[in-house]
Structure 1
Amino acid sequence: MRDPQEFDAFYRDAGERLLVQTYALTGDLTAARSAVRDSFIVAWHHWRKVSRLDDPESSVRPHAWRHAQRRHTARLWHKESGIGADVKATLDALATLSVTQRKVLLLTQLATVTMPQMAREVGLPLEDAERELQTAASQFALALDIAAADIPIQFEGLAQVTSAVRFPRAPIVRRAGAARRRTHTTVGVVGAVAAFLLTGSLVTDVTGVRPDLDFRVGQTTSSPTSSPTASGSVAATPEVVLDESTLLTEAQVRRSAPSRTWSIRRTGDNSEGSGLLAPCQQARYADPRGTAALVRTFAAAPSGKEPQATVLQLTEESSSPRAARRAYTTALEWYGACLAERVQLLGTRTIGFVGDQAMLMTLRSFDAPVQTMSVGIARTGAYVTTTIANVRDEERPDVDGAAGLLADAVDGLCTLPDGGTCAGAPRPTDADPLPVGAAPAMLSELDLPPVTGVERPWVGTEPRRALTNVAATRCDDASFQGRFEGKPFTNNLTRTFLIPEARLPVRFGITETVASLPRARAEKFVEQIRTRLADCSDKDLGTDVVRVSHVDEAQTDITVWDLTTEISDNESVSYSMAILRNGTSVAQLTFVPDGSATLADGTFGAVAERALQRLARLPRP
């Protein structure tokens, strides 16, 4: 049986997003509006099948894009009159791309899809799709003279243009879809559809009310919480409320940290104040269109040598599991790509046997007082719950305790009508960090530890093509440009991290350079660097080289050195360098300290390990 409420929620949720995407694809707002509207009519026609898909939007989007392109091909690239110069510039930049390049760029910027999903949607092998995406992003950024990291900002203007568009109310769309289904059962289907489109029945209700409802408001003009029944009367839609009994209890929190005495401090819907409950949280709710939310905080006073600790749970209910999946992804991005200054990501783990999806991230904020946070995020059905165990110390996080707490949180929700999978025995498993920024294969500020005696944040330069390898040392003189043994370096980028507010010497900083080579060449490249470093002390008497660590495996190589180079009779410079390989990707990482402004012992090696994890995201050559 087809569920009108589920379709209406999907229509409200996906419509604006699809309109922005389709407008960006064609530059034609009229064609985009008509195509998106008609695609939802078709979706209701086939709703029994479409609603069973994991991502119904992936079924509607290709239909909207195809129809918009057909409507648009009869005219030149079209821009609406009255739009701003920034929007015109964005459309002009998009017009320089091929249709495939526009599609891959829009799917990654304006849709919630994975790279394999993006490749399938454009009908390309993953490697080819990734190359098209790189080309598209580079050409788009070049056309606008912007950094790659600023690409998402350029689409905000398009969203402002499309926000003024008004669509038919959902019941009208459903009636049009039902009419389409009926006409498909008759011999005269072509004539019936043509008559249907020409009569304008899609833009005027049978009652004579002109459609003026956009995606953000209710489904009827009589009441935002009402819908017509079969008899024509109006039945109130029940208000969805999360009961406080679904939240964690003191006993459950005590079980995760039994050495402390816990008490509930606050329970509410997070509607007061800023709504920002943790350093990395970017908005009040992960799903701003969710149907309900509850937050509860617990506190444990300092006891003996144990520092102050708090536990927080934020639960949100979305209109559907699909919307909850998006909210889950948003929450992961808040913490996995945290934008707060002086916060370091210590670890990322998947949590098996907890809900439909679950991850745990450990972060540390180095602003006083230092805080260590274990952030668990899980989804069960239409619910997303976040638990944050926060200790005011550099205490080693209790991963098992945090995973158990998240499992308890899921068990409080999974038995509800819109719940999903419950929790078994949680199984934390180390995972690569989530992608961050415009160059996800490179380090970000989130990966960097504090510098001794410095209380200012790291700031990274924009990743740029590695025409010069600033990470190279006198010993290796490594180049990531041109060719290596006949094969070209590709995907070569470099960036440097500084602490500009600390007024340190210009030589201070961390520099990373990355590139791709065929597998055999990548292995030879890192071996060549190791050989040069091994011979350096003999060839350059002014340089001392100490190999700190070395791991050489089938998929990965990593070697770390400490070097000291005399630059005069009275002065020398000490620094650390690492050479890395992950499959076909290679990287060089160099840290130059300044006196007491340095990293704690062993910390550079940990940064190199994180760089190795991120390097796996660099496209193949």
Structure 2
Amino acid sequence: MRNPDEFDAFYKDARDRLLLQTYALTGDLPASRAAVRDSFVVAWHHWRKISRQEDPETWARPHAWAHAQRRHTARLWHREKKLDPEARATLDALGKLSTPQRKALLLTHLTTVPLSDMAREVGLPRTEVERELQTATAQFAVHRDVPSTSIRPLFEALRDHVASVTWPRATIIRRAGAARRRTHTGVGAVVTVAALVLTGALVTDAAGVHPTLDRERLTTSAPKGPDATSSPEAEPEVLPASTMLEDADLRRTAPGRDWQVRRTTKNVGKKRVEVPCTRERYADPQGLAALVRTFRAAPAKGAPRRTALQATEASRTEAAARRTFATTRAWFAGCSDERVQLLATREVPGVGDDAVQLVLRSWQAPVTTMVVGLARTGVFTTTTVESLASTTVPDSRLSAAVLGAAVDRLCPTSGAGACADDKPRVRDRAPFPADEYPAGLGLVDLPPITGVDKPWVATPPQQARTNVAATSCDGTAFTGRAYGAPISHASTRSYLILKAGLPDEFGLTETQGSLPVKAAKAFVAGVRTKLAACPDKELGTDVRRTTELTSADRQLTVWHLTTELSDNKKLTVAMAIMRVGTGVAQLGFVPAPGAPMSDAAFEALARRALERLERQASPSR
């Protein structure tokens, strides 16, 4: 049986001491207050065990210190403008010490911890802690210009500064601790059920598993079978070999390596070359001719392997060529090869009649970055692919020059259209649709997960009756009405990695809907307000905002939330809310231990989702 009176007395007696210690450790008063408060919430959760200890403060202090340091990692060292000069000088001196030195000094002067316990709390052997304490004492005394015997009184200015902090009533702390246990149980049950539902959906869609991509051989995702009887080989002179790039073109437009032509083929039979991301042998099965030429840069010591290829198709009419261009562009924009990610999409004005550039990266070993150039001139569609076995991206302007040279090779041929400018330019643009759901993320948008070599898979979009992307802080729904208007075109889609040994809760979810502009703005503002208030309402939850964008027609905010579920378990969620015009969307990601997504990768993914949201349907009337 828990004794609330004992806990209340402990809370009132220890909170100010712990606050002083955590503040001296981090220089961040808001983070310190929240950390101490949350540590008492956890303490009530485990009070039956903690109360048996001779001094419960020896349990609470390491938790409060660790929580404060986690909350403080993204903040500058003490930013308070109205801080007493003495207190500021003390914090400045503490900030010049290493973390182990600071801990040893604070444990010595602000607690009664014996040296053996100090070593355990600092996390170092006793002899090392003694050395760190001696160094900390000497350096702190020098920085504060006082004798080493006069250090303890310097903390009084900090004690006075934190004395004005207000605390929640003990009953509130105990209620939060009780709710924490219920939340822990509830979250586990909900995540398990949701994962089972999603897994079931994926099993029924098993026919959609994508083929593999071997970068050493550039295998295709096209189905294997007999050659079509109406091969473009029938009229080879429509597309002579002289219309293809030569090694001199690559040496001129992509200098620094000695390029050599490896082979040229009409892409039939045993001489067939497999082009990455293509789903069929030809984008125009009724075309007149096709050629593929491959290149390799001479090996250079310490330089990554570099290759290139050009694939050209001749269609019967310009209308057919436009369809060929669109088909080829769709293949690369929604590349279905496993573990290939779209990094950038660019326009290339002044090259042929139509031209685009896409940057893709295959995360299969060896990691390979590809710059794909695609152009149409009259009845001809040509594709250039430069591949570098590295995470380095080849120069986009040089790649555009290679594409321009390919178009100029075709230009004198009967049926060709516009040629290329002398110095082609590139400019970024929104990505083309990745699949049949143009307003949402495609598999090609998703970054790799550290330590996982399996591909992402996606469920088909479903009506957004529930919103797994929401967090406990916001509880956002995409059903019914919001801010006086009905939500229309609401759908949700989840992305998982199967057969990778990941826990059920791992995954990414995107939920979208449409609202009139005024209601859509209020929708985003409402989520922002709830997240700002969450740390005070959801005790034990840390909310860190990393990105915020607001303009006339666009809004985006990215958060990272951490909820302490138990002493050794916490739930981490990355979440983004966004709007483009009348379209609103929420993106949520739950990582797994050893399988994270970096803050930068999630932010880039949220920005990609914002770009794709431009294609969200307008609200129903």
TM-score, with structure 1 as normaliser: 0.61
Tell me which amino acid in the other structure corresponds to 2:378.
G
User: What is the aligned partner in structure 2 of residue 271 from structure 1?
Assistant: 268
SS at match of 1:531: helix
Tell me which amino acid in the other structure corresponds to 1:363.
L
Percent of aligned positions with the same letter in both sequences?
49
User: What is the aligned partner in structure 1 of residue 35 from structure 2?
Assistant: none
User: What is the aligned partner in structure 1 of residue 565 from structure 2?
Assistant: 567
* CA radius of gyration, larger in: 2
- 1:515 aligned onto 2:509: no
- Counterparts in 2 of 1:571-590, with a 5 A limit? 571-590=569-588
**Cα shift readout 1:509-535 (whole Å, capped 9, x = no counterpart):** 111111000001101110111111111
User: What is the aligned partner in structure 2 of residue 323 from structure 1?
Assistant: 320
| Equivalent of residue 506 in structure 1, options 504, 507, 513 | 504
**Mind listing any 5+ residue stretches in structure 2 that lack a counterpart?**
1-203, 209-228
* Cα distance change, pair 407–520 in 1 and its aligned pair in 2 (3 A): same
User: What is the aligned partner in structure 2 of residue 252 from structure 1?
Assistant: 249
Distance 1:379 1:598 in 2: 41
Cα RMSD between the aligned structures? Answer: 2.1
- 1:452 aligned onto 2:450: yes
Note if contact 1:514-1:587 (Cα within 8 Å) is conserved in structure 2.
yes
Distance 2:316 2:436 in 1: 31
Tell me which amino acid in the other structure corresponds to 2:467.
N
User: What is the aligned partner in structure 2 of residue 376 from structure 1?
Assistant: 373
Distance 1:256 1:614 in 2: 33
- Counterparts in 2 of 1:42-53, with a 5 A limit? none
Distance 2:530 2:236 in 1: 70
Note if contact 2:352-2:377 (Cα within 8 Å) is conserved in structure 1.
yes
- 1:402 aligned onto 2:399: yes
* Cα distance change, pair 381–570 in 1 and its aligned pair in 2 (3 A): same
**Mind listing any 5+ residue stretches in structure 1 that lack a counterpart?**
1-145, 151-215, 219-224, 226-237
User: What is the aligned partner in structure 2 of residue 205 from structure 1?
Assistant: none
**Cα shift readout 1:387-444 (whole Å, capped 9, x = no counterpart):** 0001111112321111110000001112212110001131211111111223211111
- Counterparts in 2 of 1:504-543, with a 5 A limit? 504-543=502-541
* Cα distance change, pair 326–275 in 1 and its aligned pair in 2 (3 A): farther
SS at match of 2:410: coil
Distance 1:602 1:217 in 2: 49
Tell me which amino acid in the other structure corresponds to 1:589.
L
**Cα shift readout 1:287-346 (whole Å, capped 9, x = no counterpart):** 122112222111013313320011101111111111111111111111111111111111
Superposition deviation, residue 462 in structure 1: 1.1
User: What is the aligned partner in structure 2 of residue 386 from structure 1?
Assistant: 383
User: What is the aligned partner in structure 1 of residue 240 from structure 2?
Assistant: 243
User: What is the aligned partner in structure 2 of residue 10 from structure 1?
Assistant: none
| Equivalent of residue 598 in structure 2, options 589, 597, 600 | 600
Superposition deviation, residue 564 in structure 1: 0.4
Note if contact 2:265-2:271 (Cα within 8 Å) is conserved in structure 1.
no
Distance 2:244 2:276 in 1: 22
User: What is the aligned partner in structure 2 of residue 285 from structure 1?
Assistant: 282
Superposition deviation, residue 274 in structure 1: 7.8
Note if contact 1:274-1:284 (Cα within 8 Å) is conserved in structure 2.
no
User: What is the aligned partner in structure 1 of residue 349 from structure 2?
Assistant: 352
Deviating above 3 A after TM superposition, structure 1's stretches of 4 or more consecutive aligned residues are: 238-241, 273-276
User: What is the aligned partner in structure 1 of residue 479 from structure 2?
Assistant: 481
Tell me which amino acid in the other structure corresponds to 2:414.
P
Distance 1:446 1:412 in 2: 32
User: What is the aligned partner in structure 2 of residue 548 from structure 1?
Assistant: 546
Superposition deviation, residue 570 in structure 1: 3.4
Note if contact 1:276-1:283 (Cα within 8 Å) is conserved in structure 2.
no
- Asked which structure has the greater RCO (Cα within 8 Å, sep 6+), the reply is 2
- 1:342 aligned onto 2:366: no
Note if contact 1:241-1:292 (Cα within 8 Å) is conserved in structure 2.
yes
**More helix as a share of residues:** 2
Superposition deviation, residue 259 in structure 1: 1.5
Distance 1:380 1:332 in 2: 15
**Cα shift readout 1:446-503 (whole Å, capped 9, x = no counterpart):** 1001100000000111110000111000111111111012211111011111101112
Q: What count of residue pairs does the alignment treat as equivalent?
A: 393
Distance 1:466 1:376 in 2: 38
SS at match of 1:521: helix
SS at match of 1:616: helix
Tell me which amino acid in the other structure corresponds to 1:565.
T
TM-score, with structure 2 as normaliser: 0.61
| Equivalent of residue 422 in structure 1, options 419, 422, 425 | 419
**Cα shift readout 1:208-236 (whole Å, capped 9, x = no counterpart):** xxxxxxxx989xxxxxx9xxxxxxxxxxx
**Cα shift readout 1:232-259 (whole Å, capped 9, x = no counterpart):** xxxxxx8743222211121211123212
* Cα distance change, pair 294–476 in 1 and its aligned pair in 2 (3 A): same
SS at match of 1:507: coil
* Cα distance change, pair 274–597 in 1 and its aligned pair in 2 (3 A): farther
User: What is the aligned partner in structure 1 of residue 470 from structure 2?
Assistant: 472
Tell me which amino acid in the other structure corresponds to 1:345.
L
Note if contact 1:294-1:316 (Cα within 8 Å) is conserved in structure 2.
yes
User: What is the aligned partner in structure 2 of residue 98 from structure 1?
Assistant: none
Superposition deviation, residue 601 in structure 1: 4.1
- 1:294 aligned onto 2:295: no
SS at match of 1:354: coil
SS at match of 1:369: coil
